Amino acid sequence: MAGSLEQETVKFVAMTGNEAVAEAMRQINPDVVAAYPITPQTEIVQIFSTFVADGLVKTEFVTVESEHSAMSATIGAAAAGARAMTATSSQGFALMWEMLYIAAGLRLPIVMPVVNRALSSPINIHCDHSDTMGARDSGWIQIFSENAQEAYDNLIQAVRIAESRDVLLPAMVCMDGFIVSHGMESVKLLMDEEVRGFIGEYEPAYSLLDVDHPITVGALDFADWYFEHKRQEAAAEAPVAEVVLKVGEEYGKLTGRSYGLFEAYRLDDAEVAVVALGSTAGTAKAVVDELRQKGVRAGLLKIRLYRPFPKDAIVRALSGVKAIAVLDRSDTFSTMGGPVFIDIKASMYDLMHGEHGEHGEHDAHGAQDAREARDMQGPRIVNYIYGLGGRDIDLEQIRKVYERLQAIVATGETGEPVSYLGVRE
Amino acid sequence: MNTGEKDWDKKGWKDVPIAGLITEPGTARRYKTGEWRTHRPVWDPEKCINCLLCWIYCPDSAIQVKDGKVVGIDLEHCKGCGICAHECPSKVRAINMVLESEAEAEDGEKVKEETMREGEEGEKERKEERKGEGGNEK
């Protein structure tokens, strides 16, 4: 069935990431888009505005004066019951900051493509993840894309995920500035009807325009109620992973491209593995293939759903690996390493404790050898911060990362936990 | 707003509407803002000349008036700003601000009970008076 569907409907088009995302937005056909242009996201808004001008969408397009207003207008539209979207990058994203938390707190399923770009200062327009990483605690769902195809697919799925009645949270779909947003790739598009069928008619959970059921949105919420509402928001994050899997599977049935919480690339029997997100995962895959040909048990875990963090599934996938390098395209400036590194390390702590308990029972009567003692500590984990401000990451750099992981496995010496990759000393 | 013992009787996070929404109109009058008060206006009916300046100036409509005469102060909504005491003519001084903690200690449980009763009765009357006015409450 899927085969015949493909023949009849699927088309390949040469597109940049921005074009693919704008095309997805046209097919989603949101009620309201309020957006402001910023490099490297500009094209998305520009292309989408031509769709509006040409009457290809029914969208009310609001040309706002800033990203703070863009998110504010999008929130207002969503609270009024509209399927509302916006898009941004970097400084614009930073300017949305206070409104990001309001979108999440009001449980509005806004979907927003974010083209990842470095934050000032110094000023820079190129890719890193410091913009969206800073908002990892804002309550938004964060999905990262490796290439234009994934950005397109993720945006369509994000509508379903965000609007799920079990979730009702805003979602941002991240793609690497210029590398994905401006790189031309072959993208497989869905037909308009397929997208419409997949996302379905939007039925808001609540609407300010529903005069038969008047509501107050954003009322003062003091010490006697605020905590309960935030606790409820935290609970909404719990079912996200399951919804992401369900939607990803359904999308796979429609397109032949299924999506999970992450992509485990040649990870099953891997001894050494890299964790990365975004376009760098593509580069790392090439190195993994190379190493596998040489007989090295190398693997990759590409994070797709970053927030909420699918801790348990990631721990399971990485539990058999002996040495892990987490590649972070942003720094936390905390001396603790990058954000993904911190998350992975925190997740692994649970794994160690789980194992500790089991071993503890087995070893109650006898000594355990040094090898077992080392395993109990869980995988060795190191961190590389790389690619800030669009600094290239190439095969050679990633080869060196895997070489170090092999050395860690051979010697048992982890060395410096946090390193900077591709920076001049 | 101070999460005192009585707040534990309120609904838990699983039972409240999402996003802090208020799904019922006109509920603000049920929100007891009087708990914010640090100073309490104490009204002396013997001294009061019923000029109603306090009633005019009170930002929270907490001066209770019946048939053109002050009958009391709605302590469930009075935030203790002291405007009433300030506006009360200096020759009259029928309203004086005292520390809430001192007033409570002095009045003890008796006042608390009376206030609750007055509040409930006052609520019924206000409901009639202000039918149709909007408001909000959790």
Residue A216 pLDDT exceeds 70:
yes
For position B112, what pLDDT does the model report? 56
The residue length of chain B stands at 138
List of chain B residues whose C-beta atoms are within 8 Å of the C-beta of residue A225: 10, 16, 20, 138
List of chain A residues whose C-beta atoms are within 8 Å of the C-beta of residue B10: 224-225
| Closest Cα in chain B, distance from residue A95 (Å) | 23
Q: State the burial class of residue B14 (Cβ atoms within 10 Å of its Cβ: 0-12, 13-18, 19+).
A: exposed
DSSP class of B71: E
**Spatial CA neighbour of A303 closest among A295, A289, A286, A315:** A315
For the residues A160-179, what does the mean pLDDT come to? 98
For the residues A224-242, what does the mean pLDDT come to? 96
For position B7, what pLDDT does the model report? 72
Residue A372's pLDDT band, with cuts at 50, 70 and 90, is low
List of chain A residues whose C-beta atoms are within 8 Å of the C-beta of residue B22: 215-216, 219
For position B63, what pLDDT does the model report? 98
| Closest Cα in chain B, distance from residue A351 (Å) | 30
| Residue ranges covered by each domain of chain B | 27-123
Residue A261 pLDDT exceeds 50:
yes
For the residues B43-70, what does the mean pLDDT come to? 97
Chain A residues at the B interface, defined by Cβ less than 8 Å, are: 105-108, 168, 205-206, 213-219, 221-229, 231-232, 235
List of chain B residues whose C-beta atoms are within 8 Å of the C-beta of residue A206: 18-19, 21
Per-residue pLDDT tens for A9-20? 567 899 999 999
Per-residue pLDDT tens for A301-329? 999 999 999 999 999 999 999 999 999 99
What ipTM was reported for this prediction? 0.85
Q: State the burial class of residue B33 (Cβ atoms within 10 Å of its Cβ: 0-12, 13-18, 19+).
A: middle
Mutant choice from B2, B13, B35 vs A, greatest count of A C-beta within 10 A:
B13
Residue B1's pLDDT band, with cuts at 50, 70 and 90, is very low
For position B4, what pLDDT does the model report? 54
For position B107, what pLDDT does the model report? 75
List of chain A residues whose C-beta atoms are within 8 Å of the C-beta of residue B1: 222-224
| Closest Cα in chain A, distance from residue B116 (Å) | 20
Class for the domain spanning B27-123: alpha beta
Of A213, A219, A232, the CB nearest to B136: A219
Q: B16, A231: Cβ pair inside 8 Å?
A: no
Residue A1's pLDDT band, with cuts at 50, 70 and 90, is very low
Q: Are A233 and A293 in contact (CB under 8 A)?
A: no
Domains and CATH numbers, chain A: 2-255 (3.40.50.970), 262-421 (3.40.50.920)
